[in-house]
Amino acid sequence: MVRAELVGRRAESIELDRLIEAARGGRSATLLVRGEPGVGKTALLEALVDRTTGCVFTRTAGVEAEMELAYAGLYPLCQPFLENLDRLPGPLAEALGTAFGLVSGPTPNAFLVGLAVLNLLADAAADKPLICLIDDAQWLDKMSEVILAFVAQRLNAEAVVMIIAVRNGVQHRFTGVRELELGGLDRADAQTLLTTSLPGLIDPRVKDRIVAEAQGNPLALLELPHTGAGHADGRTALIEESFEQRLDELPATARQLLTLAAAEPLGDPTLLWRAAEHLGLGAEAATTALESGLITFGTHIRFRHPLVRSTAYRTASASDLQAAHLALAEVTDPDRDPDRRAWHRAQASPLPDEDVAADLERSAAGVRERGGHFAAGAFLERAVELTLDPERRAERMLAAATARCAGGALDTALSLLDNLQNSPPDELRTALAQRLRGQIQFDQGDNQTAAATLLDAARQLEPLKPDLAQSTRLAALTAAIWAAGPDAKGIVAEVAAAVPEPAGLAESLLEALAARFTRGYVTAAPDLARALAAELRDHSDQATGHLVGGIIAVDLWDLETGQRLVARQERIARQTGALLRLQFALDFGAALQCIGGDLTAASRMVDEQRRIATATGNPSVEYGARLVTAFRGEPATTSGAGVLTTYAEAVLNNGLGRYETARDAAMRLFEQDVIGYGALVASELAEAASRTGDSNLVESTLTWLRARAAAVPTEWSRGIEARVGALLNNDEGEYRRSIECLDRTSLQGEAARSRLLYGEWLRREGRRADARGELRTAYDALTNLGLGAFAERARHELLATGETVRKRSVETVNELTTQEAQIAGLARDGLTNPEIAAQLFLSPRTVEWHLRKTFAKLGITSRRQLRDAYPR
């Protein structure tokens, strides 16, 4: 039966209907409906369901009592389609099945679960548009919120509409999507609603008072007649006061039944009535509760409004709440739903109870295996509260802190570690806690403090767990390297000095890395190269636990190895669901792609890192982004400090021809001998110094380079050494040798910059014809690579030779978007649409949609033509 049209919501209803029509045409959409409690968000969604035909609906709602249960909000949305789980690619089906506890499998990461949900919903929309309604999103559990935010940002061509209702003023992860703010009704609509909802005559003065106090809030208009207006501050408080009064007027048995229903968020009538029977609540209590109008019973238990549920739960006595949870624990199947049963038992326990705490600990282990680190932390925190034995309490507190850290709740984890300090002394536990504290400090970007903390932890672990002490020292040295700079002078040397020196050759990466700072680059380079090669051969997930391997590779003038090691860290982070670590891996990977000259790949990594930050609520890591903008010749859009930012400043200003600024930035970094950056900044320093007439600085830079290139003779190091030699000595042979060496590497940008410098030198020598050839090649390469400022330098030099040259941009060379370019490249390499979708975390339908647009832009009609139309 179709309900009457909502009062005063015509414009909003039309907007929702437009989304449905777009879905009928194959387009997806996401809409966030915001508004205060009671403003009519739920009513707007219900009205959409009532008037819409020819679509499939699925829905879920956040429940305050379930915010600690992993995937509690996601499951109801997916449940109608789980019978088609086997249609998904194997890894996706396994990830989602494991997350929901349907199958046993390795711990799924959030990206695989998100991609599985995206594909599941796209499959459900194959015949009819699918409308996903998510109400009270502010109460979703964290894992459900992360997954749904991930899906919402990737919907495109699946004929799926996702409408998310959330309260104003609350933090959520559904950012970057279209929003619709639902305001109050105007005075005329408010009076109409009030008149139609109240039978009989109502005094105009009373009506005016209710309309004034409700301020257009529909639920307030309907509830204020039940209470004395003006006794509470704010509309939400007035509504809650009304519900509380109505609850207080109920007989004790009916009130207890509502408390029980509020504590049972599944809305399962079978579970509710079994628990009610356990409490001795019969038909009389159900009839009275139903007549109150606050709840309805049927195939699904529904409260009149979420505020009824929260008010019923919040205002219940402690004894009634404990009785309700105990009854629900008794009737919840321990085999089918052990986590919810353990949670109910915990809420029913007023005093410490080891049996319940152990049950929570077991559930936490299972939840963690399904990727629910945040929920596992909540279970363990509650287990701590229920544990009386000081030793067990301390062990569970450390486990809770570890789980909270893995779930990204770093401040909560630190608070738990602070409380752990009051536990009975235990050397190993203290050392592990210090190690975890250092890891959190590193994740928070406090690298200098993290280095000291991790070094202290390593010293404590040495007599207890030597292998763990070794990896902790490596983590400390990594943090020190990231902290290196003017404000942290000597931090790397201090940590390196704490590493025991080997009697002979360095056997580990840690020993070789420490020797790099204690014995010098030239002496340590061979050991470091051997250790890095061994690290590259080690395919275990424990190898190079931090991104230090990539830094060392750059220090050894070996970009390809650096990219392979960072790609491995990216893979490990994806597999384990460590999204914060994935952000760091993508950011550093973007920086390495910039060094190689592939700004398209770098931009893709930057975009993905930012999407993860948006989806998880973690801060965005912007170092790689700053380097992308610097190589493009654009001012930084974000501020920041650090060695990579200083390097970006040198690159940007060399490109723009602001050589004194470039020289000063490069010099600040060069003087510190920061690992990995010498290979990058030496050429920037020499170029800027040569343009400012500082030949002494160019000469000292060349001396430094010759020693490094002799210790690590790669094509990269020889190419940069030759370039600086050419700048110092005006040696044409050295210019040519630099270009030849760099052409044999993957560093396309560096090769193009050597051609630019050679062309500039030829023009100054008066050899205009020769200069034009080199400058034209450099200009084309720099433009295609997107190195805008350097390309503009080449263009100006060409103009100075007398050649007419049209200014071009990357957009005129390639009109494909970043995502279209990614998809085109993967399709050209032979990947199928599902394989491309899995790599880029999209649905196959979206991949197909992008390919159609790409074919149109490239003027082709088939994948086979991509090889010629879109070469590598």
- Reported as half-sphere exposure (CB side, CA atoms, 13 A), residue 77 has a value of 32
pLDDT of residue 545: 47
36 and 176 both lie in a single domain: yes
Residues above pLDDT 90, as percent of the chain: 51
pLDDT band (50, 70, 90) for residue 229: very low
Partner residues linked to 33 by β-bridges: 165, 180
Is 742 within the bounds of a domain? Answer: no
Question: Amino acid identity, residue 212?
Answer: A
Residue 139 per-residue DSSP state: G
pLDDT of residue 125: 94
Is 128 within the bounds of a domain? Answer: yes
Q: Residue 633: pLDDT above 80?
A: yes
Q: Which residue range(s) make up the domain with 40?
A: 10-181
DSSP result, 453-467: HHHHHHHHHTTT-HH
Is 705 within the bounds of a domain? Answer: no
In tens, the pLDDT along 634-665 reads 887 655 567 888 899 999 999 999 999 999 99
Domain count for the chain, please give it: 5
In tens, the pLDDT along 354-364 reads 999 999 999 99
38 and 104 both lie in a single domain: yes
In tens, the pLDDT along 495-523 reads 888 887 765 555 678 888 888 888 888 98
48 close to 132: Cβ distance less than 8 angstroms? no
712 close to 525: Cβ distance less than 8 angstroms? yes
Is 781 within the bounds of a domain? Answer: no
131 close to 52: Cβ distance less than 8 angstroms? yes
Better pLDDT: 371 or 403: 403
Q: Residue 375: pLDDT above 90?
A: no
208 and 158 both lie in a single domain: no
> Across residues 627-637, what is the average pLDDT?
86
Backbone angles phi, psi at 295, to 5 degrees: -155, 150
pLDDT band (50, 70, 90) for residue 543: very low
pLDDT of residue 640: 58
Q: C-alpha distances in angstroms, 340 versus 261, 278, 360, 675, 831?
A: 15, 18, 10, 50, 42
150 and 286 both lie in a single domain: no
Q: Residue 238: pLDDT above 80?
A: no
191 and 173 both lie in a single domain: no
- Hunting for tokens 């504590």 — which residue is that? 263
In tens, the pLDDT along 453-485 reads 999 999 999 999 998 998 898 889 888 887 876
Q: Can you give the CATH number for the domain in which 822 is found?
A: 1.10.10.10
pLDDT band (50, 70, 90) for residue 406: confident
pLDDT of residue 546: 56
Is 98 within the bounds of a domain? Answer: yes
Of the three residues 574, 595, 621, the one that is the final residue of a domain is 621
Is the pTM higher than 0.85? The answer reads: no
> Across residues 713-730, what is the average pLDDT?
95
Of the three residues 277, 312, 347, the one that is the final residue of a domain is 312
pLDDT band (50, 70, 90) for residue 226: low
202 and 308 both lie in a single domain: no
Is 507 within the bounds of a domain? Answer: no
CA–CA gap between residue 440 and residue 422 (Å, rounded): 20
> Across residues 34-61, what is the average pLDDT?
92
103 and 31 both lie in a single domain: yes
> Across residues 771-799, what is the average pLDDT?
92
133 and 116 both lie in a single domain: yes
pLDDT band (50, 70, 90) for residue 4: very low
636 close to 629: Cβ distance less than 8 angstroms? yes
Closest to 221 in 3D by CA, of 245, 248, 188, 270: 188
CA–CA gap between residue 210 and residue 221 (Å, rounded): 7
Better pLDDT: 533 or 694: 694
CA–CA gap between residue 522 and residue 712 (Å, rounded): 8
159 and 16 both lie in a single domain: yes
Q: Kindly report the CA angle at 313 between 307 and 315, in degrees rounded to 5?
A: 95
Q: Residue 204: pLDDT above 90?
A: no
> Across residues 422-434, what is the average pLDDT?
95
Is 607 within the bounds of a domain? Answer: yes
pLDDT of residue 641: 61
19 and 33 both lie in a single domain: yes
34 close to 166: Cβ distance less than 8 angstroms? yes
Better pLDDT: 511 or 32: 32
Is 37 within the bounds of a domain? Answer: yes
pLDDT of residue 73: 93
- The four Cα atoms 62, 64, 70, 75 give a dihedral, to 10 degrees, of -30
302 and 206 both lie in a single domain: no
Q: Residue 612: pLDDT above 90?
A: no
Q: Residue 544: pLDDT above 50?
A: no
CB-CB neighbours of 72 under 10 Å: 26
> Across residues 802-828, what is the average pLDDT?
71
pLDDT of residue 362: 93
Better pLDDT: 638 or 711: 711
Of the three residues 132, 150, 181, the one that is the final residue of a domain is 181
pLDDT of residue 230: 45
Question: Amino acid identity, residue 667?
Answer: M
Backbone angles phi, psi at 557, to 5 degrees: 60, 45
DSSP result, 290-340: HHTTSEE-SSS-EESSHHHHHHHHHHS-HHHHHHHHHHHHHHS-TTT-HHH
193 and 293 both lie in a single domain: no
CA 651 to chain centre: 29
In the sheet that holds 178-181, the strands lie side by side as: 56-61, 130-135, 160-167, 29-35, 178-181
Closest to 461 in 3D by CA, of 434, 488, 422: 434
Better pLDDT: 67 or 694: 694
In tens, the pLDDT along 724-742 reads 999 999 999 999 999 999 9
